[in-house]
C-alpha cells in the first residue's frame, strides 16, 4: 500500500459498512467491480481481481458461444470466487451467450452496449443469474429496473472506450438519490479510494474500475500497452472526433496516437468519396465504422501502440506503475479508510 501508516481498524470497518450492500450482491469481499475491457478482461485479470476480494468480469465482446464457454471454464480453473460476464446487447447470438453463462453457473450477467431485450433478461433471471444493466439517465434507470435489472451501473463520460455525453459527477447526482430499489455501482474516471468513498456516501453500492487495472501484473496486455498507460495523463485520453453529423461516430475515449490522427483523415477521405458519388451512404458509414476493427487487439495483444486503439479512461494519469491486483485493491481500500480516519481526527 502506498499509504505510509495503516488507517485504524474502525475506518476499515466503516468502509465495510458502506460497501455491505454491493459486496453482498456480488458475494465478494469488496464492492469493487472490474470494468469489462475487450482483450484485457480475460481469465487471468478476472480471476486475479476476484481472488483479491473484488469482483472480476469477463469481457465477452465479439466472442462466439464456444469461445466464451472456454473463457469461463479457464477463469473457473483460476478462482473459486464469484465473477461475472459482460455481454454486448448487439451481439447476434446474445441469447446463446446467456445460455453459455447459465450452463457454466455464472452468477452475474452484465448487459452492456444498449438496452437489453426483455427476453435475454428473462432468460438470465429464470436461469438463476443476477442481471446488471447500464443506465445512462434516470428515466432509463427506472426502465431497466422495471425490465428486471437486479443492479445498475452508471458510467460517466470520463470512462475509457465507448462513452456517453454525461460525466459521472452529474449522473451520480441525477440518479443516486432517486434509485434505492437496487444497488447502483458508479464508473468512469475513478482511480483512487477517496473517490470511491465519496460516491459510497452519496448512496452508491460500490464502484466499477477498468483503467486502473490495466497495469495489474496479472493482466496479459502487452508491456508496450501498459507503458502507454503509465506514461499517459488525463488530458491524453480524448474522445474520437466526428467530422460530419451526416456520418455519426460513437465517441470512444482513448489515448491519442498516430491511429487517432489517421482516423480523422480516413473520415475526411470517406466523406469526400461519398460526395463524389464513389460510395453510397451505407457503404461510407460502414467504412468509417470498420476503421478501428481489430485496432484494440493490435494494441493490447500485439503492442502496436502507434496504430492500435489505446482505449483508456481519464483516470489513466493515476496509473503510475505495474502492481499485483491485490496490491491495487488494498491501495484503494486503504486510501478510502485513511480519508475516513483523517475526518475522524479532524472532528476530534
- pLDDT at position 342 is 94
Portion of the chain with pLDDT greater than 90, in percent = 89
Indicate whether 2 pLDDT > 70: no
Cα(194)–Cα(108) distance, integer angstroms:
27
- pLDDT at position 98 is 98
- pLDDT at position 3 is 46
**What class, spelled out in words, does domain 9-220+321-342 have in CATH?**
alpha beta
- Cβ contact 213:315 at 8 Å: no
In our burial notation (b when 16+ CB lie closer than 10 A, e otherwise), range 190-200 reads bbbbebbbbbb
- pLDDT at position 1 is 46
Q: Which grid cell sits at 183?
A: 444497488
Residues 335-348: what's their mean pLDDT? 85
Is 254 buried (19+), middle (13-18) or exposed (0-12) by CB count in 10 A?
Answer: buried
pTM here?
0.94
pLDDT band at residue 291 under the 50/70/90 scheme: confident
Cα(37)–Cα(29) distance, integer angstroms:
22
What distances in angstroms separate CA 18 from CA 15, 196, 205, one per listed residue? 5, 10, 7
Cα(238)–Cα(39) distance, integer angstroms:
20
- pLDDT at position 241 is 87
3-state secondary structure (DSSP) of residue 58: strand
- pLDDT at position 246 is 87
Beta bridge pairs of residue 34: 209
Indicate whether 346 pLDDT > 70: no
Indicate whether 347 pLDDT > 80: no
User: Which of the pair, 288 or 237, is modelled with greater confidence?
Assistant: 237
Residues 47-63: what's their mean pLDDT? 97
Which of 222, 253, 238, 224 lies closest to 35 in space, CA to CA?
253
Domain ranges for the chain, please list them: 9-220+321-342, 233-311
pLDDT band at residue 143 under the 50/70/90 scheme: very high
Is the four-CA dihedral 216, 89, 131, 126 of positive or negative sign?
negative
What distances in angstroms separate CA 185 from CA 203, 208, 276, 281, one per listed residue? 9, 6, 48, 39
Starting at the edge strand that comes first in sequence, how are the strands of the sheet with 237-239 ordered? 161-162, 252-255, 237-239
Residues 64-74: what's their mean pLDDT? 98
Q: Indicate the range of 182-191, 259-268, 333-342 predicted with least confidence.
A: 259-268
Indicate whether 271 pLDDT > 50: yes
Residues 111-126: what's their mean pLDDT? 96
What pLDDT, in 10s, does the model give residues 221-265? Answer: 999 999 999 999 999 999 998 899 888 888 899 999 999 999 999
- pLDDT at position 299 is 96
Q: Which grid cell sits at 82?
A: 464469484
What pLDDT, in 10s, does the model give residues 18-31? Answer: 999 999 999 999 99
Amino acid at each position: 500500500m502506498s499509504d505510509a501508516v495503516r488507517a485504524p481498524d474502525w475506518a476499515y470497518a466503516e468502509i465495510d459498512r458502506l460497501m455491505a450492500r454491493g459486496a453482498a450482491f456480488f458475494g465478494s469481499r469488496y464492492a469493487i467491480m472490474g470494468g469489462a475491457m475487450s482483450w484485457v478482461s480475460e481469465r487471468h485479470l478476472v480471476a486475479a481481481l476476484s481472488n483479491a476480494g473484488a469482483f472480476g468480469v469477463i469481457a465477452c465482446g465479439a466472442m462466439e458461444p464456444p469461445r466464451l464457454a472456454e473463457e469461463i471454464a479457464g477463469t473457473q480453473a483460476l478462482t473459486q470466487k464469484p465473477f461475472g460476464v459482460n455481454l454486448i446487447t448487439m451481439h447476434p447470438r446474445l441469447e446463446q451467450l446467456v445460455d453459455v453463462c447459465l450452463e457454466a453457473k455464472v452468477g452475474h450477467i452484465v448487459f452492456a452496449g444498449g438496452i437489453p431485450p426483455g427476453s435475454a433478461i428473462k432468460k438470465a433471471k429464470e436461469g438463476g443469474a443476477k442481471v446488471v444493466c447500464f443506465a445512462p439517465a434516470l428515466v432509463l434507470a427506472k426502465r431497466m429496473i422495471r425490465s428486471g435489472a437486479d443492479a445498475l451501473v452508471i458510467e460517466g463520460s470520463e470512462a475509457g472506450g465507448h462513452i456517453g455525453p454525461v460525466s459521472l459527477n452529474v449522473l451520480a447526482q441525477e440518479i443516486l438519490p432517486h434509485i434505492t430499489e437496487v444497488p447502483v455501482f458508479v464508473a468512469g474516471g475513478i482511480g483512487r479510494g477517496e473517490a470511491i468513498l465519496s460516491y459510497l456516501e452519496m448512496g452508491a453500492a460500490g464502484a466499477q474500475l477498468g483503467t486502473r487495472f490495466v497495469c495489474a501484473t496479472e493482466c496479459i496486455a502487452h508491456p508496450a500497452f501498459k507503458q502507454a498507460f503509465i506514461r499517459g495523463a488525463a488530458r491524453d485520453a480524448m474522445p474520437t472526433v466526428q467530422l460530419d453529423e451526416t456520418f455519426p461516430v460513437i465517441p470512444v475515449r482513448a489515448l491519442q496516437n498516430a491511429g487517432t490522427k489517421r482516423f480523422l483523415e480516413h473520415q475526411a477521405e470517406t466523406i469526400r468519396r461519398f460526395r463524389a458519388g464513389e460510395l453510397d451512404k451505407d457503404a461510407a458509414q460502414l467504412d468509417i465504422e470498420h476503421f478501428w476493427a481489430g485496432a484494440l487487439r493490435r494494441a493490447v495483444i500485439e503492442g502496436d501502440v502507434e496504430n492500435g486503439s489505446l482505449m483508456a479512461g481519464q483516470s489513466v494519469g493515476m496509473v503510475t506503475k505495474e502492481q499485483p491486483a491485490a496490491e491495487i485493491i488494498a491501495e484503494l481500500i486503504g486510501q478510502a479508510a485513511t480519508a475516513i480516519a483523517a475526518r475522524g481526527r479532524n472532528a476530534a
